[in-house]
Structures are given as structure tokens and as C-alpha cells.
């Protein structure tokens, strides 16, 4: 054990300790790698695409240099496709390269102009609860409502032509997280009438819609808050998680006061927002320095204006601009946005009254994106991106939803209001469900649920051709050299055996590089 | 289709040996370097010489458990006044549903009785008024600060238990797997731990697909991820090695000893799996299990419903673990510790529930725990004047005091200044 004590100590004391330790590790691996390398180099001689210059890629021989997933992502357009879609597909890659960076971004920002009728039709036909009225929804089995809501989400993510909208739906679903388990069918209403409807409008509009969402009010116990006994849960989370952020400059007193402002915001019937004057606290309040004078109980329904005013104050607060900008940058661009990047997006927020598209144009500038390191796909993203990469046929996304659940990322099941984490530390620990999903998808051959047509990947019957197909479909033609070699070596023994090719595809989807975007 | 082994050496022992070597040689040290901010003090590496080192089971009761229901001060009239409909009747109340006295001041709720044998056996210590000294009523901040072992410092993302593992030799030299979170993702507590994985179901950990090519595909993936960087790389390499390891243990068929019966709940099943991993003796020395659902803003009646059920699940599971692992065959050396991010308001709210508070309750269990008592510090009646912000039980026992004593005395790691940075713990006599 002395050597691990020593190397750990060096890691703390000397910045180069890590490199030295890694090099030692590589030497230890050399025995395992040698036969693989030999096979890979043999295959590489025939690999088409070798004539394509790939500046910046590491040499083909094994070196101790470690590889960042983004290091071979040379095309700005493909970087943009990776960020604003649920995964590269052959058709989106072609489209982006035809339109160019700005035009491709504008196309997806103007989602309403993209025809999505086929997907809408599929969802309405197969998942009728997603388009049902509140009265109808309230009579349905909540297990059915949940599975239809989840499957519709996964299907749209995979096949909607409005891909940036789906990314934003994912983002706002986490930001305004609601656990289906607690509110049941009300989340289906929230998904349709709040998240999807306002995903590409402005943050203040979205915030207001959420504050009137019966699902949100029920989820955060606002529906049981009264003037005699205000429940602080929603008041706290609206400031901590929805607008200002935990360091946004509010106090416990502000939480208590806002909870008094919001008394009376509740629901009636099957799930309709209502302001109930008899539950409201009409005494004077002060929230974030804003004085709300005492009112006569005869004010009645008009006292809802107190809460509306505070939502305006929260949406216009500088802390909200910073908090939302930072979160958007972290989701769409990089885990560690700079102060300057945050300031630029916050400035767009302030000058556009929180217009989401205006902010995204700043977040996703070419300059920002070409310098952005790779982000880890969360399981939902990984599952959908693999379907898109393979062009898999999906008649029933249920098995895909199950796979996402296996990896701990089933939509609408995060219990606490902070939403699923988007941190590499959280998701990187659980790798096996990713590998098992890849094995599932690559071998999927069920016409009534999920089917991957492997024949598309083996037209030429040689290992290099198989690898080139995988590269084109799954990596936009930017598959790292070492991965091409590793895959070719795996296929080489039997490139005309569909089982072997399916396994190679599963390995490509399991590979380190494919986990990033 | 058979695997012709062309892409690897085709010799399983050779491959596994190689994989083990490079994982030991690189991943642990690399992760260590990446998780330790430069400002942390120099590490004096903990040795495994202490043969009586305990395995630690760390339980997080997420949501803010109502310590004043779990372990209620039944002699305090303020408690009954503040909770007119959800207080638990005194042991001598004559009511059918009532508390069970732990001492002259505190009682267990009915749902907690699964822990009474361990308490009376002197191996369960209860700490009342414990929690995070830094005042936060945010679930997320409070959990994060407790888990990383320091409040309000964004430069620290690794967890206290992660840093314990990173600064101690493996209990079993060469262990493939040292830490396990029985969960879908790695909690912050274990962030940065070498040889540590989230394993939601330890009885089923392998790569799907054709069994004939499992080894070839596992080797291919280990080779591919070896070229990557960062956390995903190290967890992938650990996973590849762990697949082989867990294949050799029958966690699913595990039979508890001593007649112990774990509840058929998520938490009970997880603790049962923890017991199986410990008894398999494969070098797992830190296990985290979470139990969710303690955020009882509404209907927190401790005599029935959600809170009662949760307490029963918790106490029956931990009680079964005590009977099985600590009292059953082998009498394994384990310290179990459980905590929540905060307690709840002393006063109930308008929904027969309680809102976020401050001080809560911790539990510590083990052969070398100074148990059979409720430990408090400066305990005072719950009169408004004695409360924080006039509403909450004060935190008089910093959670780090409890954890640090366990780390030092039961886990044999002297690096408290790395595990709990910028904090000088007070030893309370948690261990003996």
C-alpha cells in the first residue's frame, strides 16, 4: 500500500502528480492493449476516410495522452446540431451543413415554422390523454396517464422536427420540476399548457404560467396554505429555485412574507386555478423591500394582484437574470460558464424582458460553441440520441422509456423541486445502464416496438465499411481515429455476420465518445 | 455466434489481471488528484494496520426528518402545546398509541420501536438537536453541505466519505470495489471516492447480450474508456472490474442470519443488499443507502399515515440490520450512522404537518458505539425563547462532531482536516 500512499501524496503536493500516475497506469495496461493495437492497425490500412485530413486528432498509436470527447469535433455546424437537438442524425447533420451555422440556429429558434404534423398526429392517436380535456383526464387511471405522458415525451424527443423546442422542454421541465407521483394527471396538464406552450416564449410568461399551474401549486403545497397557517413551501422554492437562486439576496423573512402574499392562490374542481379571497392575508407585507400595504378584506378577488405584482418583481430582479442565464448556459453550453458569458446572457435577459430566444442566441454564439468542452449526455438524452443516430424505427417507445427509467432518469419522477441534476459527477457514476441500453437497441428487432435495421450498416460487407457507416450515422463523420480502429478490430473477424455488426454498433453507442455532446 | 477472441488475448485470467493492475495503478490516484482542491492540507495516508477498522453504512434520511416525532421530549409541555394534533402521547398517558420511554426525557414514537432492541442492547446511540451548524432551510443546500462536509464552499464538490476513502488505504489490499451507493446515482457524500460505484441492485450487475462475448465486449469497453478522461473513465474502468467481482457473489439469494426480517421496501431491500455485500467480505468498506420521503409538510401524524409508515420502514430495516449483521453470525464490525438535512419547526402548521426547521436527530449504531442513551448538548425546554428564530430546535451538535469521531476512531483515518476542512470537531464520546 505504500505506493498508493505515495502517489496520492504527490497528487496533492505536485500538479504533475496526476500525469505521472496516469502514465504508470498506461504502462500497466500495455500488456492488455498490445494485441488490440496490432489488430486495429491492420484494419486501419484499409479504412476509407483515412485520406480525410483530421488536424488535431491524436496519432494512431497508443499514447498516454488522454482524449477529450470534443477534441475531434471540428465542424461548428455539427457542434451546434449536438447542442440544439436530442442527438446527431444523418439528416440533421446534412441540413446544418447546407444551411450554415446561423441559418440552422434560426430555423430551430423559429420552431413554429417547422412542420411537425406527423409527430403530433402520432402522439394524439397513440396517447389520447395528452390531448384530453381536464374533465376526461381526471377520470383516467393515473398509471395510464403517466405512461402516455412519458412515452409522448420520449417519442417527441426522438422524432419531432422541432428539436430545439424539445431541448427546451427538457430544460424547463427540470427547472419547474413537478413529481408526477404527487400530483398525478395535473402534471400532464402542466406539460401541455405550461412547459410546452411557453418553452420558447419569455421567462416572465413561463414563470406566470407556472405560478397559475394547478400542478405546481399542488406539488409545493400552495393549495393548503391559508392566512392562519401559511405554508412556505412554494414561496421558498419560487425564490430559491425558480427565480432568484439560493444566493439571490432574499431572507427567511422574505420567504414568510411572500407566503402571506400568495395566500389564496389555490385550486378548485378537477384542477382549475382560482384565487380564494377568504384564504388571503390582507395585512401589510414587505417582500424584497417591496411594500404591499394592508388592504380591506372587501378587496376580495382583486387581491390576487399582490401575487401577480410579486411575480413581476421576481422576474425583473437582477438576480433572476443572472440565475436563469447561468442555468441556461450550463445546460446548453458548458458546465463552467465564465463571468463574461453569464453577464452577456443576463444582459440579453434584461434588454429583452427575458425573451428565451434572445438569450439562446447569445448562449449559442459560434464563438461560445467552438470553444465549449463536451457535456455528458444524461440518460434520457443518451437513449434518444442513439435512436436518432441509428435511425431506429419506433412503433412503441415504451421499451425506450423503460431503459431511461433503468438509468434513473424517467421523466417526471424526480421527487424534489430542484429537478434532475445536470452535473457530470451525478451521472458519470452509473455507466452500466448505458452499456445495457446500447446492447438492447443494437439488437432491437421488434416491428411493433423498436427495430434497428442493421442492414443499413453492412452494405459493403467489409469491416472498414461498417465502421464508416457507424461514423456517418452516429458521429457525423467525426468519429475519433482510435475508436474507428477499435471498432474495426471488433468487426474484422466477421463483417458479414449481422450479430457481430450489431455488437459493434452496441459498442459504438457504449463508447466513451458517444456519451458526450 | 461464438467469440473467437481475436480482439483480445482470449485468456480471461490474463485480461482480468491486466485490468485490475491498470485500475489500481491509475484510476484511484487520478480521481484523488482531481477531487482535492489545492487548499486542502497535506494528507497523512491512513494505514490499514488497524485491524479493527469498521465498515461504515451511511444512511441519509432525505427531506428533513421530524426529529421531534421520532424522538420526542415527552416531559416538555411546550412540545404538546406546539403540536396540538400531532404530538405523541406520553408513555404514561394510558393511550393505546403512545411513546416508549428511552430515558427520563425522550421517547420513541411507535413507528420507531424496531430500533428498541438495539437501543436497549446498548449499541444504538441517539443524538437529539443534531444537524448543520450553518443555517439553511433549503433541502438542497443543507443536504449538499452535510454531504461534502463543509457549508457554503463551492470549491468543494467531493463528499466527506469520498475523501475518507481517498485518504485511506483499502481495508482489503487490492480491493476492486471499496464503496457502494445502493442507488441509481452517486450521492454527493461519496463523490470523489476511489473504487466506488452506484449499484441500485447489487444482485444484478452485468452487461446484457450474448454471454459468449461478454468478456470480449467488457474488455473492448475497458480499452476504449482507458483512452478517455475524467470521472466517466474511472467509473467505467471500475464497473468493468466490478462486473466480474459481483458475478461471484449471490446477493440476490442472500439469507439474513439470526431470524432477521428486512421489510420488503426499497430501503429494507437496500439494507439487505448492504448486509450481503459486507458478509461477502470482498473489501467493500463504505455503503450509502438513502431513505426518501421525510418532507412532511402535510399530514405528519406520527401515529398513522405517511410519517408513521416511514418511521416503521426505517426502524424495522435498521433493526433487522442490527440483528442480522451486528448480532447475527460473525458479529461483523460495522458502524452505521443515519441523519437528515434538518429537523422541522417545533410548531405544527395548518395542515397537520411541519415546515422546514433546524436541529434534528441522528442515530449511530455499532459494537463500539457508546449507545443505549440519548445524547444532547445544552438541552433546553422547547419554550419559544429557547428556539432559533423563535421556531426551531437549535443545532447544538454539529453533524461533523459525530462523523469525525467515527472516522477517527472506527474508520482509523486521522485526516480529519481533509475530510472536514476548516473545522475542529469536538469529540462527544460517540464511540468507546
Q: How many residues does chain B have?
A: 432
Q: Is B129 left (phi over 0), alpha (psi -120 to 50) or beta?
A: left
3-state secondary structure of B356: strand
Chain-chain contact of A25 with B351 (C-beta, under 8 angstroms): no
Please say if the pLDDT value at position A141 is more than 60. yes
Facing residue for B220 by CB, picked from A24, A418, A486: A486
Please say if the pLDDT value at position A29 is more than 80. no
- Name which of A276, A291, A370 is nearest A78 in CA terms: A370
- pLDDT at position B43: 59
Q: A431 vs chain B: nearest CA distance in angstroms?
A: 6
Kindly give, in sequence order, each residue whose CB lies less than 8 Å from that of residue B392, ignoring residues fewer than 6 positions away.
B343, B345, B346, B357, B358, B359
Facing residue for A482 by CB, picked from B141, B227, B389: B227
Render pLDDT for A428-447 as a digit per residue (tens, 0 to 9).
877 999 999 999 999 999 99
Facing residue for A429 by CB, picked from B157, B219, B235: B235
Kindly report which listed range (B13-22, B66-75, B261-270) carries the lowest average pLDDT score: B13-22
- pLDDT at position B360: 98
Please say if the pLDDT value at position A14 is more than 70. no
Question: What are the DSSP calls for A199-240, one per residue?
Answer: TTSBHHHHHHHHHT-HHHHHHTTGGG--SSS---HHHHHIII
| Cα(A399)–Cα(A150) distance, integer angstroms | 11
pLDDT winner (highest mean) among A60-69, A156-165, B188-197: A156-165
Query: Taking CB atoms and an 8 Å cutoff, what residues of chain A touch B389?
Result: 252
Q: A35 vs chain B: nearest CA distance in angstroms?
A: 6
| Cα(A400)–Cα(A404) distance, integer angstroms | 6
- Name which of A185, A181, A183, A178 is nearest A137 in CA terms: A185
Facing residue for B186 by CB, picked from A228, A429, A511: A429
Kindly give, in sequence order, each residue whose CB lies less than 8 Å from that of residue B239, ignoring residues fewer than 6 positions away.
A431, A432, B197
> Which percentage of chain A shows pLDDT scores above 70?
87
Average pLDDT over residues A406-426: 89
- pLDDT at position A416: 82
Please say if the pLDDT value at position B294 is more than 60. yes
Q: B147 vs chain A: nearest CA distance in angstroms?
A: 13
Please say if the pLDDT value at position B185 is more than 60. yes
Query: Taking CB atoms and an 8 Å cutoff, what residues of chain A touch B227?
Result: 66-67, 482, 512
Residue B413, chain A, CB below 8 Å: the answer is no
**Which of A235, A413, A425 is the best mutation test for B, with the most CBs of B within 10 A?**
A425
Please say if the pLDDT value at position A93 is more than 50. yes
Residues 64-123 of B with CB under 8 A from A: none
**Which of B165, B295, B355, B389 is the best mutation test for A, with the most CBs of A within 10 A?**
B355
Please say if the pLDDT value at position A56 is more than 90. no
Distance from the Cα of residue A54 to its chain's centroid: 30
| pLDDT category of residue B154 using cuts at 50, 70 and 90 | low
Chain-chain contact of B170 with A1 (C-beta, under 8 angstroms): yes
Is residue A508 within 8 A of residue A470, CB to CB? The reply is yes
Average pLDDT over residues A203-228: 96
Query: Dihedrals φ, ψ of B207, to 5°?
Result: -90, 130
Q: Is pTM beyond 0.90 here?
A: no
- pLDDT at position A283: 97
Render pLDDT for A322-381 as a digit per residue (tens, 0 to 9).
999 999 999 999 999 999 999 999 999 999 999 999 999 999 999 999 999 999 999 999
Average pLDDT over residues A87-96: 95
Chain-chain contact of B8 with A35 (C-beta, under 8 angstroms): yes
Render pLDDT for B85-108 as a digit per residue (tens, 0 to 9).
999 999 999 999 999 999 999 999
Distance, first Cα to last Cα, chain B: 60
Distance from the Cα of residue B4 to its chain's centroid: 45
Query: Taking CB atoms and an 8 Å cutoff, what residues of chain A touch B298?
Result: 221, 224
**Which of A13, A21, A24, A25 is the best mutation test for B, with the most CBs of B within 10 A?**
A25
Chain-chain contact of A436 with B207 (C-beta, under 8 angstroms): yes
> Which percentage of chain B shows pLDDT scores above 90?
67
Q: Cell for A472?
A: 456517418
Q: A8 vs chain B: nearest CA distance in angstroms?
A: 6
Chain-chain contact of A18 with B29 (C-beta, under 8 angstroms): yes
Question: What are the DSSP calls for A152-195, one per residue?
Answer: HHHHHHHH-S-HHHHHHHHHHHHHT---HHHHTTHHHHHIIIII
3-state secondary structure of A445: strand
| Cα(A463)–Cα(A368) distance, integer angstroms | 37
Chain-chain contact of B9 with A35 (C-beta, under 8 angstroms): yes
* Residue of chain B whose alpha carbon sits nearest to that of A71: B228
Query: Dihedrals φ, ψ of B220, to 5°?
Result: -60, -45
Chain-chain contact of A32 with B1 (C-beta, under 8 angstroms): no
Residues 254-293 of B with CB under 8 A from A: 292-293
| pLDDT category of residue A50 using cuts at 50, 70 and 90 | very low
| Cα(B159)–Cα(B375) distance, integer angstroms | 26
Question: What are the DSSP calls for B191-206, one per residue?
Answer: TT-TTEEE-S-TT--S
| Cα(A225)–Cα(B351) distance, integer angstroms | 8
Number of A/B CB contacts below 8 angstroms equals 242
Question: Any idea of the CA torsion for B349, B351, B352, B358, to the nearest 10 degrees?
Answer: -40
Q: B421 vs chain A: nearest CA distance in angstroms?
A: 15
Residue B161, chain A, CB below 8 Å: the answer is no
| Cα(A378)–Cα(A375) distance, integer angstroms | 9
Chain-chain contact of B1 with A499 (C-beta, under 8 angstroms): yes
Query: Taking CB atoms and an 8 Å cutoff, what residues of chain B touch A510?
Result: 221, 224
Give whole-number Cα distances, B71 to A442, B60, B88, B116, B383, in Å.
53, 17, 10, 12, 17
Residue B157, chain A, CB below 8 Å: the answer is yes
| pLDDT category of residue B329 using cuts at 50, 70 and 90 | confident
Render pLDDT for A261-283 as a digit per residue (tens, 0 to 9).
999 999 999 999 999 999 999 99
pLDDT winner (highest mean) among B43-47, B201-205, B300-304, B307-311: B307-311
Please say if the pLDDT value at position A3 is more than 80. no
- pLDDT at position B137: 85
- pLDDT at position A66: 61
Chain-chain contact of B138 with A430 (C-beta, under 8 angstroms): no
* Residue of chain B whose alpha carbon sits nearest to that of A63: B227
Residue B11, chain A, CB below 8 Å: the answer is no
- pLDDT at position B36: 52
Q: How many residues does chain A have?
A: 517
- pLDDT at position A89: 94
- pLDDT at position B156: 82
Query: Dihedrals φ, ψ of B26, to 5°?
Result: -130, -50
Distance, first Cα to last Cα, chain A: 39
Average pLDDT over residues A112-136: 97
Chain-chain contact of B138 with A236 (C-beta, under 8 angstroms): yes
Chain-chain contact of A429 with B221 (C-beta, under 8 angstroms): no
Q: A309 vs chain B: nearest CA distance in angstroms?
A: 25
A53 vs B319 pLDDT, higher one: B319
3-state secondary structure of B55: strand
Please say if the pLDDT value at position A154 is more than 70. yes
Kindly report which listed range (A88-102, A122-136, A481-495, B151-165) carries the lowest average pLDDT score: B151-165
- Name which of B158, B157, B161, B127 is nearest B57 in CA terms: B161
**Which of A10, A32, A417 is the best mutation test for B, with the most CBs of B within 10 A?**
A32
* Residue of chain B whose alpha carbon sits nearest to that of A489: B7
- pLDDT at position A406: 86
| Cα(A359)–Cα(A369) distance, integer angstroms | 14
**Which of B142, B183, B208, B413 is the best mutation test for A, with the most CBs of A within 10 A?**
B208
* Residue of chain B whose alpha carbon sits nearest to that of A226: B350
| pLDDT category of residue B46 using cuts at 50, 70 and 90 | low
Please say if the pLDDT value at position B376 is more than 70. yes
Amino acid at each position: 500500500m505504500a505506493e498508493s500512499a505515495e502517489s496520492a501524496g504527490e497528487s496533492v503536493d505536485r500538479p504533475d502528480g496526476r500525469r505521472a500516475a496516469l502514465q504508470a497506469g498506461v504502462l500497466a495496461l500495455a500488456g492488455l492493449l498490445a494485441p488490440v493495437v496490432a489488430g486495429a492497425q491492420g484494419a486501419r490500412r484499409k479504412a476509407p476516410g483515412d485520406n480525410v485530413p483530421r488536424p488535431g486528432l491524436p496519432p494512431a498509436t497508443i499514447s498516454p495522452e488522454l482524449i477529450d470527447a470534443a477534441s475531434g469535433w471540428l465542424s461548428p455546424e455539427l457542434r451546434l446540431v449536438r447542442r440544439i437537438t436530442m442527438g446527431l442524425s444523418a439528416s440533421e447533420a446534412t441540413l446544418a451543413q447546407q444551411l450554415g451555422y446561423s441559418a440552422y440556429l434560426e430555423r430551430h429558434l423559429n420552431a413554429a415554422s417547422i412542420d411537425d404534423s406527423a409527430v403530433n398526429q402520432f402522439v394524439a392517436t397513440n396517447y389520447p390523454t395528452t390531448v384530453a380535456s381536464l374533465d376526461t383526464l381526471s377520470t383516467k387511471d393515473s398509471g395510464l396517464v403517466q405512461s402516455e405522458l412519458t412515452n409522448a415525451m420520449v417519442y417527441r424527443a426522438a422524432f419531432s422536427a422541432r428539436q430545439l423546442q424539445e431541448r427546451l422542454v427538457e430544460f424547463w421541465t427540470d427547472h419547474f420540476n413537478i413529481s408526477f407521483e404527487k400530483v398525478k394527471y395535473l402534471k400532464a396538464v402542466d406539460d401541455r399548457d405550461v412547459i410546452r406552450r411557453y418553452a420558447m416564449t419569455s421567462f416572465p410568461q413561463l414563470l406566470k404560467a407556472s405560478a397559475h399551474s394547478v400542478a405546481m401549486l399542488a406539488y409545493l403545497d400552495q393549495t393548503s396554505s391559508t392566512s392562519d397557517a401559511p405554508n412556505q413551501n412554494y414561496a421558498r422554492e419560487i425564490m430559491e429555485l425558480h427565480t432568484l437562486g439560493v444566493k439571490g439576496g432574499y431572507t427567511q423573512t422574505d420567504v414568510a412574507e411572500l407566503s402571506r402574499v400568495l395566500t389564496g392562490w389555490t385550486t378548485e374542481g378537477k384542477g382549475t386555478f382560482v384565487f380564494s379571497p377568504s384564504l388571503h392575508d390582507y395585512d401589510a407585507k414587505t417582500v424584497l423591500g417591496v411594500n404591499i400595504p394592508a388592504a380591506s378584506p372587501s378587496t376580495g378577488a382583486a387581491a390576487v394582484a399582490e401575487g401577480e405584482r410579486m411575480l413581476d418583481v421576481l422576474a425583473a430582479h437582477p438576480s433572476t437574470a443572472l440565475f436563469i442565464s447561468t442555468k441556461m448556459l450550463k445546460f446548453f453550453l458548458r458546465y463552467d460558464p465564465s463571468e463574461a458569458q453569464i453577464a452577456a446572457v443576463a444582459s440579453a435577459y434584461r434588454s429583452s424582458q427575458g425573451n428565451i430566444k434572445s438569450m439562446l442566441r447569445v448562449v449559442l454564439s459560434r464563438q461560445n460553441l467552438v470553444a465549449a468542452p463536451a457535456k455528458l449526455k444524461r440518460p434520457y438524452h443518451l437513449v434518444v440520441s442513439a435512436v436518432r443516430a441509428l435511425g431506429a424505427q419506433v412503433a412503441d417507445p415504451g421499451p425506450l422509456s423503460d431503459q431511461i427509467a433503468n438509468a434513473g432518469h424517467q421523466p417526471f419522477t424526480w421527487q424534489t423541486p430542484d429537478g434532475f441534476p445536470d452535473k457530470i459527477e451525478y451521472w458519470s457514476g452509473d455507466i452500466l445502464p448505458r452499456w445495457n441500453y446500447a446492447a438492447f437497441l443494437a439488437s432491437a428487432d421488434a416491428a411493433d416496438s423498436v427495430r434497428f435495421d442493421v442492414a443499413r450498416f453492412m452494405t459493403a460487407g467489409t469491416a472498414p465499411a461498417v465502421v464508416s457507416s457507424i461514423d456517418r450515422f452516429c458521429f457525423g463523420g467525426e468519429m475519433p481515429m482510435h475508436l474507428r480502429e477499435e471498432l474495426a478490430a471488433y468487426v474484422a473477424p466477421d463483417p458479414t455476420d449481422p450479430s457481430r455488426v450489431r455488437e459493434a454498433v452496441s459498442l459504438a453507442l457504449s463508447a466513451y465518445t458517444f456519451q458526450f455532446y | 455466434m461464438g467469440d473467437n477472441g481475436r480482439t483480445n488475448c482470449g485468456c480471461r485470467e490474463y485480461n482480468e489481471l491486466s485490468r485490475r493492475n491498470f485500475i489500481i495503478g491509475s484510476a484511484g490516484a487520478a480521481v484523488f488528484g482531481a477531487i482535492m482542491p489545492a487548499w486542502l492540507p497535506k494528507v497523512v495516508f491512513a494505514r490499514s494496520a488497524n485491524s479493527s477498522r469498521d465498515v461504515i453504512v451511511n444512511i441519509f434520511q432525505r427531506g428533513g426528518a421530524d426529529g421531534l416525532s421520532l424522538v420526542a421530549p415527552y416531559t416538555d409541555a411546550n412540545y404538546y402545546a406546539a403540536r396540538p394534533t400531532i404530538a405523541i402521547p406520553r408513555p404514561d398517558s394510558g393511550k393505546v398509541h403512545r411513546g416508549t420511554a428511552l430515558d427520563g426525557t425522550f421517547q420513541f414514537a411507535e413507528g420507531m420501536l424496531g430500533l428498541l432492541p438495539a437501543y436497549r442492547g446498548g449499541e444504538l446511540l441517539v443524538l437529539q438537536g443534531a444537524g448543520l451548524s450553518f443555517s439553511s432551510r433549503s433541502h438542497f443546500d443543507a443536504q449538499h453541505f452535510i454531504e461534502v462536509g463543509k457549508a457554503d464552499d463551492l470549491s468543494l464538490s467531493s463528499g466527506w466519505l469520498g475523501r475518507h476513502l481517498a485518504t485511506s488505504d483499502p481495508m482489503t489490499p487490492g480491493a476492486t470495489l471499496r464503496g457502494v451507493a445502493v442507488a441509481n446515482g452517486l450521492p454527493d457524500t461519496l463523490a470523489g471516492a476511489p473504487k466506488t460505484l452506484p449499484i441500485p441492485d447489487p444482485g444484478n450487475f452485468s452487461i446484457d447480450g450474448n454471454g459468449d462475448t461478454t468478456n470480449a465486449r467488457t474488455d473492448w469497453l475497458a480499452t476504449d474508456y482507458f483512452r478517455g478522461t475524467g470521472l466517466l473513465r474511472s467509473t467505467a474502468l471500475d464497473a468493468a472490474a466490478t462486473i466480474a467481482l459481483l458475478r461471484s457473489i449471490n446477493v440476490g439469494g442472500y439469507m439474513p442470519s439470526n431470524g432477521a426480517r428486512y421489510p420488503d421496501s426499497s430501503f429494507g431491500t437496500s439494507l439487505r443488499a448492504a448486509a450481503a455485500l459486507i458478509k461477502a467480505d470482498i473489501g467493500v468498506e463504505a455503503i450509502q443507502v438513502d431513505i426518501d420521503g421525510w418532507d412532511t409538510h402535510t399530514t405528519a401524524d406520527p401515529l398513522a399515515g405517511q410519517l408513521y409508515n416511514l418511521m416503521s420502514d426505517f426502524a424495522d430495516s435498521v433493526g433487522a440490520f442490527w440483528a442480522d449483521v451486528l448480532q447475527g453470525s460473525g458479529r461483523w464490525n460495522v458502524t452505521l450512522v443515519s441523519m437528515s438535512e434538518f429537523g422541522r419547526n417545533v410548531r405544527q402548521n395548518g395542515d397537520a404537518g411541519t415546515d422546514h426547521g433546524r436541529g434534528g436527530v441522528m442515530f449511530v449504531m455499532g459494537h463500539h458505539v457508546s449507545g443505549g442513551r440519548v445524547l444532547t448538548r445544552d438541552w433546553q425546554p422547547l419554550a419559544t425563547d429557547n428556539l432559533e428564530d423563535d421556531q426551531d430546535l437549535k443545532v447544538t451538535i454539529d453533524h461533523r462532531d459525530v462523523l469525525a469521531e467515527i472516522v477517527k476512531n472506527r474508520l482509523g483515518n486521522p485526516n480529519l482536516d481533509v475530510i472536514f476542512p476548516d473545522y475542529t470537531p469536538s469529540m462527544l464520546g460517540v464511540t468507546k
